[in-house]
Amino acid sequence: MVNSYSYLLFLLVCIHVFLASGSPQNLNLPTSTFDEGFQHLYGDDHVFILENGKSVHISLDSRTGSGFISQDQYLYGYFSASIKLPSDYTAGVVVTFYTSNQELYETNHDELDFEFLGNIRGQSWVVQSNIYGNGSISRGREERYGLWFDPTEDFHQYSILWTGKVIIFYVDNVPIRVVKRTEAMGGDFPSKPMSLYATIWDGSNWATSGGKYKVDYKYAPFIAKFSDLVLGGCAIDPIEKSSTCDYDTNFEAIISTGVTPKEISDMENFRKKYMTYSYCYHRSRYPTPLPECVIKPQEAEQLRRIDPYVFGGGLVGM
């Protein structure tokens, strides 16, 4: 496990560079090997540790899926991995990179998700982000996107920044989604210590075209490859809420919560080109958008063009 005090000193040294740049990736946070920061979750013989722990492959076949989990829990942080997804026919396959505390809080857990949804041959993977707070699973906050690259050809970086005020999802250092905490959200904003997870599993009943296409195990094993794993926060005892780092503030005080004007422009461009679903615009599901939603007419019109049935008919609050 990385020494927490040394890691804190590293963060403090980096802060001046970071505050000038405004982007967490510019901290150049150290990566963790598997033995330093992680342990097996399930499917032990389907989790392969390579390159002295710098790379982890997880696989799915007809017998089992697999996954790994951080050794510690964190209250706020920056979490990142370079991921290469399985190729060919991958319908029904789900690869995840996410934070959660469901093992400790069965009825009121928090969660921040990157979910990668496989597809039939010739169709691209779909990326889904989601947020749950305090067990708010009846209020899914899903967004779905395409990508400007083929995620099966090479490794690409996927990152989550989580502070007490904002959550930002990144792909290759481009922010694709920002959720700011509002008073009206209450406990729906994740605020309890969470572990970091990576898994691969069979989502045949929903992942591809609503379950129309299932996992075909003649193409197994399906292998997802992870490297450059970053655990950018100080571990915290989930019960005592005490940190292993010797400082009196949380991660939010060390890492900026903003995005630069260029990042805002990059995010708007990404969402215009690649966002295919957002819960904020699903009127029949949420007649009144949830309190953190920032309704943008251009996004509403863009989604109406994609799916007039789901997103048509105007929106409350526009």
pTM of structure: 0.89
In single-letter form, the type of residue at position 190 comes to P
pLDDT above 60 for 20: no
Q: Which residue among the candidates 36, 111, 263, 301 is catalytic per the annotation?
A: 111
pLDDT of residue 315: 44
3-state secondary structure of 147: coil
Mean pLDDT is lowest, of 49-58, 74-83, 120-129, 243-252, for 243-252
CA distance 303 to 143: 11
- Cα separation, 110 vs 135, whole angstroms: 6
Please check whether residue 272 is in contact with residue 180, taking contact to mean a CB–CB distance below 8 angstroms. Answer: no
CA distance 19 to 24: 9
Catalytic residue among 36, 51, 103, 115: 115
Task: Give the residue-averaged pLDDT of 165-187.
Answer: 95
* Residue 111: active-site member: yes
CB 113 within 8 A of CB 95: no
- Say which range, 3-12, 84-93, 122-131, has the weakest mean pLDDT: 3-12
Given pLDDT bands bounded at 50, 70 and 90, which one contains residue 25? Answer: low
Angle at 317 between CA 316 and CA 318, to 5 degrees: 100
